[in-house]
Amino acid sequence: MRSRRRSVIVAAVAAATLAAAGCTAVPAGPSSPASSPTKASDSREPTPTNGVSALLVQPVQRAQVVPASDGRNHLEYDLLVVNAFGEPVTLTDVVVLGTDGKRLLTVTGRSLASATQSLYTHVASPVVAASAAVVVEVDLPLSSGVPVPARVSNRIDYKLPASPDAVIVDDTSVQGPTVDVDRTHAVRIESPLAGKGWLATSACCSPNVHRDLLLSESGLRLATSETFAVDWALAKGDRIYEGNGSTNEQFYGFGAPVLAVADGTVVAAQDGIAESVPFSSSAPETKEGFGGNSIMLKIDDGVYAFYGHLQTGSLTVRVGEKVKAGQVLGKLGNTGPSQGPHLHFGLLESPDAFTGTSLPFVLTKATLTGTVDFASSTGDTLAVSPESRSLKNVYPLYGTIMDFG
């Protein structure tokens, strides 16, 4: 959740942005994913050898898997890449390998450039500055029926500039590392909203504000608190607001009931933060203010549901109260550092919206009615590709439009 990040909705709506507190970005749309599968090779990749490398590569977390609205299982993880050399290094390929050594995915070219980002500022570039670090976001889509591997390994190819020091580098490929895959089933929940036309303006699994976010926890690990978080805005036709969108009331979703996604207990609630003016929010004075008015539910052991940017004075529950799935918790608002009314929603393994690990989830039922290509959207008009498919137990990918109830 960062006030400096620009919202996806504004890229689709008058080149402005609708998110904030964990809600912003200038991403590649669903039509240009950050990675694309390649045909499996029959040959195994070479075994790592000792020698000097310009790079240090380590996994940020175990890979997580989510069944998604495109009919595929998406395997998500990040690679931390540190340039231990005195000159800029350019990444050329990231290859994902199965347990049998066969290629499952190659990320290269524009896709690699989009998926390689500086920490926190999210500047996308395959060039790693001297003595700097970047993160490569890996999205491995697996067709339905393809077994999810227990682990994957990676090969990272790179090139060096002409430099006298280049002679000390023995190999311009890093053979590794291995990433374990958490094959735990995604959490099944009901929708946090009801009605037609709900657009996922930020979500997994291509680069965007939520998929990109990493924060250091206690200086010991990089926390992935928003990998599967979704920003929901209400779309009607090819717009999310009427008129010029200068008031919250012009946004179609403003004031919509926000619902409990499962039975649970309220463990945190915050109200009293004033509504922001669309497209002109300011940074909060406290850390807690980044989520605006918010609610945290415990819905299972190690599973917490976080709702952010709720309308001022709309909360209907308090800490300690038990709730039922479908119960109204509050109303969709525009509080905290948010550029326009939307609901920030996600599941976490602990009740901390900053350092809790984001958990993959699936919605029990929904109707997919369209997909937005944010890169092709202009002004305040969304580029929508209509479709109609009933879905069960899937995750809403970035740019999807869904009907609930």
pLDDT tens-digit series, residues 190-201: 999 999 999 999
Distance spanning both ends of the chain, measured CA to CA: 29
pLDDT at 33 over 50: no
Unique residue bearing structure tokens 């976001």:
137
- 378 with 234, same domain: the answer is yes
φ/ψ of 51, rounded to 5, equals: 160, 170
Smallest Cα–Cα separation from 151: which of 182, 109, 123? 182
Helices (H), 107-251: 109-115, 209-212
Higher-confidence position of 379 and 15: 379
By residue range, what is the domain housing residue 395? 8-24+187-404
- Sorting pLDDT into bands at 50, 70 and 90, what band is 349? very high
Mean pLDDT of 119-125: 94
Higher-confidence position of 327 and 47: 327
Environment class of 310 (CB within 10 Å of its CB; exposed 0-12, middle 13-18, buried 19+): buried
Mean pLDDT of 365-393: 96
- 121 with 161, same domain: the answer is yes
- Sorting pLDDT into bands at 50, 70 and 90, what band is 233? very high
Domain final residue, candidates 164, 182, 200: 182
Kindly state the tokens that stand for 277: 């003016």
- Sorting pLDDT into bands at 50, 70 and 90, what band is 47? low
Handedness of CA 330, 331, 334, 340 (dihedral sign): positive
Domain final residue, candidates 151, 182, 213: 182
CATH of the domain at 376: 2.70.70.10
pLDDT in tens, 95-109: 999 999 999 999 999
The pTM for the full model equals: 0.89
Smallest Cα–Cα separation from 84: which of 119, 55, 125, 52? 55
Question: How many folded domains does the chain comprise?
Answer: 2
pLDDT at 366 over 50: yes
pLDDT in tens, 67-96: 999 999 999 999 999 999 999 999 999 999
- 176 with 191, same domain: the answer is no
- 161 with 90, same domain: the answer is yes
- Sorting pLDDT into bands at 50, 70 and 90, what band is 8? very low
Q: What's the Cα-to-Cα distance from 338 to each of 258, 343, 404, rounded to whole Å?
A: 17, 10, 24
- Sorting pLDDT into bands at 50, 70 and 90, what band is 152? very high
Residue 251 near residue 235, CB atoms below 8 Å: no
- 106 with 209, same domain: the answer is no
pLDDT at 282: 74
